[in-house]
Amino acid sequence: MRRIGHFIDGVETEGKAAGFQDVFNPATGEVQAQVALASAADLEAAVASAAAAQPKWAATNPQRRARVFFNFVGLINKHMDELAALLSSEHGKTVDDAKGDILRGLEVAEFVAGAPHLLKGEFTDGAGPGIDMYSMRQPVGIGAGITPFNFPAMIPLWMLSPAIAAGNAFILKPSERDPSVPVRLAQLAVEAGLPKGILNVVHGGKEVVDGILAHEKIEAISFVGSTPIARYVYGTAAAQGKRVQAFGGAKNHMVIMPDADMEKAADALIGAGYGSAGERCMAISVAVPVGAETADRIVAALKPRVEKLKVGPASDKASEMGPVITKASQERIRSLISSGVDQGAELVLDGRDFSLQGYENGYFVGPTLFDRVTPDMDIYKEEIFGPVLSVVRSNTYEQALQLVMDNPYGNGTAIFTRDGDAARDFAARVNVGMVGVNVPVPVPLAYHSFGGWKASAFGDLNQHGMDSIKFWTRTKTVTARWPSGIKDGAEFQMPTMA
């Protein structure tokens, strides 16, 4: 059986594994590989490799670091089909969706190829008599990323690209559920010219995470996962003086105004709610039609579309939605659907008993649609992370807006309307980090930042865009005066530029 090792000091290795964990094919339920789980010694070896390599990498000029990313982007494109097939086999998402996962990560690798410009500081000539002042961005040293199963290419690339381009070494702890793509990306980075030790990959669970949070040589940590773990990561690492960005869960709403194009809104909801089997932190899981007529029209438009969704394995090119990641996830989603029925929601389409001939042991859940959901129900309060869309009816725009604002999560939201005033008001007032206007999944492009509000994010700086450069660097400001500008005698007053 295939073994997946760590990637330490430029080579794949099982190290001094604390054990091995099965890696499943979600479409069949079969074990397809085993991944090594890192011991404390393995993490220490990764940190030691990073510490040895980082000073020379930091001293490499940004233009040369950028060239590595140009090569890296080319290699990812060259190996796109291989990476997508590997990703699909372990995650379960369709091949086209897997390519989208990789491409959205690739965009950040492309963005940081502009490192010479992104890392420029500021300069003021003649800030005072004979005084110049300038700032520079310097790497933090060793950074670490802890990434989730749902985007095994995109989120690692979002983290490692700006961190490494800024001159840091990086330790990646990906999900042990789909670990192959992160290791393959590390191999391609070395092939692109990245020095060994600058990117290390270690696998494992809470013990490895705790080791990363506590390690005195790791200066900055980026995390994506559930809100309870994000709180834990942020609190634990920040208490030890580390720089931390921790992104948690979501409950994303899409408000549908009466003037919206219902057919286009329904199409948007299908893709945003059921794409990747709902296993996206930016998935739309709540549709909020304004007015009874709007609600009736959107449900009528949704039902036939949901019924026609092609559910199947990634190996079937006709598949539009694959399985969820694990048996435990499948059972949890089914249980939440049952709770919705028990608590009085109207079950329009039920995916609990979905079964696919030849894949009866796969972790499939059929697309599920609820109407007349209320905010006190578990299917509304919980982040389901599955192919379940809930319709929460609203009488007015203000009521719909308040529903979104009262939710404890604040990752993404959208409004569908032809009314510019309504769209502008919604974007200005809603307390959510990413807003779409007739865009259901408003994930910003690489040169803008990605991040939520409220219980969806902890820390001051977001992912990618200029926020990522700020996160992975420290600003140093220099005030310089040369002898010709220095007055005779000691100066005891607070220095001024006068």
**Active-site annotation, residues:** 281
Instruction: Give the integer Cα–Cα distance in Å for 442 and 435.
Output: 6
Under 8 Å CB-to-CB from 425, ≥6 apart: which residues? none
Collect all residues with Cβ–Cβ distance below 8 Å to 420 and sequence separation of at least 6. Answer: none
- 143-148-150 Cα angle (round to 5): 140
Cβ–Cβ under 8 Å, residues 202 and 170: no
**Distance from C-alpha of 122 to C-alpha of 477, rounded to nearest angstrom:** 9
| Strand boundaries in 150-265, DSSP class E | 169-173, 199-201, 220-224, 243-247, 252-256
User: Which residues fall within 8 angstroms of residue 206, CB to CB, at 6 or more apart?
Assistant: none
**Strands of 2-4's sheet in order across:** 2-4, 30-37, 19-25
In residues, how long is the chain? 498
Strand spans (E) along 212-359? 220-224, 243-247, 252-256, 284-289, 346-349
Residues near 39 by beta carbon (within 8 Å), at least 6 away in sequence: 15, 16, 17, 18
Taking alpha carbons only, the member of 443, 411, 472 closest to residue 105 is 443
Containing H/E element for 12? strand 11-13
DSSP-derived 3-state class of residue 108:
helix
CA dihedral 337, 342, 344, 350 (to 10 degrees): 30
